[in-house]
Structure 1
Amino acid sequence: MAYSIASGSLALSRSVLDRAADRRRDEEWLAKAWADPATQVAVVAKDKLQMTPDRTAVRFLQPGEAPEGIKVFLGIDREAGAGQTADGRAVFAVLVSTEADESYAGLREIGGVLVDREAGIAVNVIGLSNWHAVHTHCANCGEHTEVIEAGHVRHCPACGLSHFPRSDPAIIVLVTDDEDRALLGRNGAWPEGRYSTLAGFVEPGESLEAAVRREVFEETGVVVGTEIEYAGSQPWPLPSSLMLGFYAKASRFDIEVDADEIAEAKWFTREDLRALVEAGTMALPGNISISRRLIEGWYGEELTGSW
C-alpha cells in the first residue's frame, strides 16, 4: 500500500493555539487574563459556536461582553502580541445553557471554512461543552460536581473524585483487495447511494490493529491481513471521539454484511467510484471528515460530491 492523506487536508486537525495547561490552576493569572481587554471569548451553546454575521469565522467577545455560563480557559495565542498577561493573548470560552439561535453554527457547517487557529478552538471547546453537559453529577456517588481548573476538571465535593475530559478512540479504515478496489459500506439508516469507510470504537484492552480487523470482519465479513498502515487522526467531538485513520489490505474478500449497522458493502474500482459520483447516484462523506480524505488518498486526487 502506498496511499496517504494529503498534508493539511484534515479540516479538524489544525490546532495551533497553545493550550497552556500549566495556567489552569493559576487563579491569579486567570483573573488577570480575564480582565485584559485583549482577551478573546468564544460563546458556545451545546455543540454550536456563535459566529460572525457572514458565518465564516468565530465571533469573539471581550470578557466584559461575555454572557453568564461556564468559563473555560482554552489557551494562549503566542503570535498575537502580549496583553496584560505578558504571555500573549488569552482565549476563553463561555458555555451557555440557552438554545443556539441562527447566529450559531456547528462543526459540520463551519469546520471546512475556519482558519487553522479557529478550527482548533472549535473542536476543543465543542468537545468540552459536550463533556460538561453529561458530567454534571458524579458517576461514583451521584453528587453534583463543581467546575475547577478553568473548566478542565469537574470535582465531586462529596467523595472527592475528580472527573476529566476523555476522548474515545475509534478506528476508521479504508480496506483494499488484491485488485486495489476499495471497500465501502452503507449504514442501514442512510439513504441509497450514501457510502463511507468502515469505523468503530476501540474496546478495552484492544490494540488499534486488532480493532481494525474486528470491526471490518464484524461489519462485512472481510478478513484483514497483516498489512495495516496508520494514515492520520482527527478529533470528532460529537460527542467525544478521536478518529484514528488506517489503510488496510484484505486477505479474504467475500462480503457478508452484519445487517445491523451495515446494510450494504461493496468493492469499488476507481472507475466505478468516479462514474457513480459523476452520475449523482453515489454520495461521499463530507469534506471535513477523515473518511473523505482516506477515500481520496486511495483514489489519488480530490473528488466532488458529498453528503
Structure 2
Amino acid sequence: MSAEQRSLRNVFSRLALDRCSEHRHDADWLAGAFAREGARCLLLRADGKALAGGDGASLTLLDVRTRETFGDARGATFLGCDDTQVPYFALVADADQAERAERDLGAFVDLRRAGQRMAAFEAGLFAYARGLTHWQSRTRWCGACGSALSLEWGGHRARCPNAACGIEHYPRTDPAIIVIVTWRDACLLGRQPSWPEGRWSTLAGFVEPGETLEDAVRREVYEEAGVRVVDCDYHSSQPWPFPSSLMLGFTARADDPTIRVGDELAEARWFEVDAFVAGVRDGSIGLPPPLSVSYRLIEDWLLRAGGLELDTIAVANHAAWR
C-alpha cells in the first residue's frame, strides 16, 4: 500500500474538493458563486462546532434561501467546488444566529465526536472549515505593527491596511510528527499524566524550526521516552484542526529498548503482541479512537507483528470512542 493510500484511510483526509485558489482574488467571481442556486454553506459557531442534522452524522448545509439571515458573500469563507461545480462556503454565526439555527435547523456538533460518523466528504469539509475559521478568529491584528487586519481572498488571506507595513498573513498549519516505534515485535506506547489510567497512544510532538521530519522523530522519542531510534519512515498524513496541525505519521525502529521517561509522559512501555491483545480485549488498555492517525499506526503494527486486525479485538474500547 502506498503512503497516499494509507493517508486516504485517515479521517479528514478524503475531501474531494477543488479549492479553486485561482478565483480567491476575484471578488466578483466569489460573489457570483455565493449567489449561485446550488451553492451550499456550512454554519459554524465561534467555538468551532458546526450545524448538523438531529443525529449529528451529517452536516446541515444551508442553501440560498436558508442562509440569507446568517451572512452574505462579504463575510463568507470560500472553501471550494465539488466535482459537480457546486460551491461551498463557511459562515460563522453569532450567538443570536446560532440560537436561531439550533432551534429551527439542527444542532451544533463537535468535530471530534462527529467526524468519524460523517461521510468522508463532510468530515473533511468540517475539518477544513473549522481550521480556517479558527485561524481567522486568532488573526485579527498585525503582529508587526498592531493594526486591525482585513480578511480578503475569500477568507484565505489577512492584510495589514497600514501603508507603512502592508504585511500579508496566511493560514497557519503546525506540522507535528506522530510515530510508532518498534523493538523486535514490540511497540512503544506512552501515557500522558492527564489521561485516564490505562489509556495509551503513540508518541508525538511538534516539528521545530530547522528540523527535518526525521530529526523531529528522533528528538521527540528521545525527549519523551529516552529511546534512540533509527530507520524513520514516513507512513501517512492527516489534517488535524485541533486547532491547526498537520499530523505526519512515521514508523521507526529502536536502536536500544531502554526506556527513560521524560517530563512529558507519566509512563512509557513496550507492548508485546500477546499482552497488548489481551489488554485491549479486557479493556485494561485504552486506545486512541479511530479518528486519529495514531490508531492507524497501531493497527499497522499489530497486523505486521501479529497478523491481527485491530478492529476485531478493540470491542472494549468502543464505548470510550463514542
Of 138-147 and 196-205, more deviation after overlay is shown by 138-147
Deviation at 1:169, TM superposition (A): 0.5
Alignment root-mean-square deviation, CA? 2.0
Q: Where do residues 116-195 of structure 1 align in structure 2 (5 Å cutoff)?
A: 116-158=120-162, 159-177=165-183, 179-195=184-200
Residues 1:223 and 1:4: Cα distance change in structure 2 (over 3 Å): farther
More strand by share: 1
What whole-Å deviation, never above 9, does each CA across 1:33-54 have from its counterpart, x for those lacking one? 1111210011011321110122
Of 228-237 and 91-100, more deviation after overlay is shown by 91-100
TM-score where L is the length of structure 2: 0.87
Q: Where do residues 1-307 of structure 1 align in structure 2 (5 Å cutoff)?
A: 8-45=8-45, 46-66=47-67, 67-68=70-71, 70-79=75-84, 88-98=85-95, 103-158=107-162, 159-177=165-183, 179-225=184-230, 227-258=231-262, 260-300=263-303, 301-303=309-311, 304=314, 305=317, 307=320
> In 2, are the aligned partners of 1:233 and 1:290 still within 8 Å (CA)?
yes
More helix by share: 2
Residues 1:278 and 1:4: Cα distance change in structure 2 (over 3 Å): farther
Letter in 1 for 2:125: I
Deviation at 1:282, TM superposition (A): 1.2
Residues 1:252 and 1:119: Cα distance change in structure 2 (over 3 Å): same
Letter in 2 for 1:27: A
> In 2, are the aligned partners of 1:4 and 1:297 still within 8 Å (CA)?
no
> In 1, are the aligned partners of 2:237 and 2:247 still within 8 Å (CA)?
yes
- Return 5+ residue gaps in structure 1 as ranges: 80-87
For these two proteins, the number of residue pairs brought into alignment is 295
Alpha-carbon separation, structure 2, partners of 1:275 and 1:149: 53
What whole-Å deviation, never above 9, does each CA across 1:164-221 have from its counterpart, x for those lacking one? 00211100000001x2100000001111100000000000010000000000000000
Deviation at 1:96, TM superposition (A): 2.4
Q: Percent identity?
A: 42
1:84 aligned residue: none
Alpha-carbon separation, structure 1, partners of 2:115 and 2:252: 27
What whole-Å deviation, never above 9, does each CA across 1:78-120 have from its counterpart, x for those lacking one? 23xxxxxxxx211111022439677111221111122222122
Alpha-carbon separation, structure 2, partners of 1:97 and 1:236: 25
Deviation at 1:3, TM superposition (A): 11
Q: Which runs of 4+ in 1 moved over 4 A?
A: 2-7, 99-102
TM-score where L is the length of structure 1: 0.91
Deviation at 1:267, TM superposition (A): 0.1
Of 243-252 and 277-286, more deviation after overlay is shown by 277-286
Residues 1:41 and 1:203: Cα distance change in structure 2 (over 3 Å): same
- Return 5+ residue gaps in structure 2 as ranges: 304-308
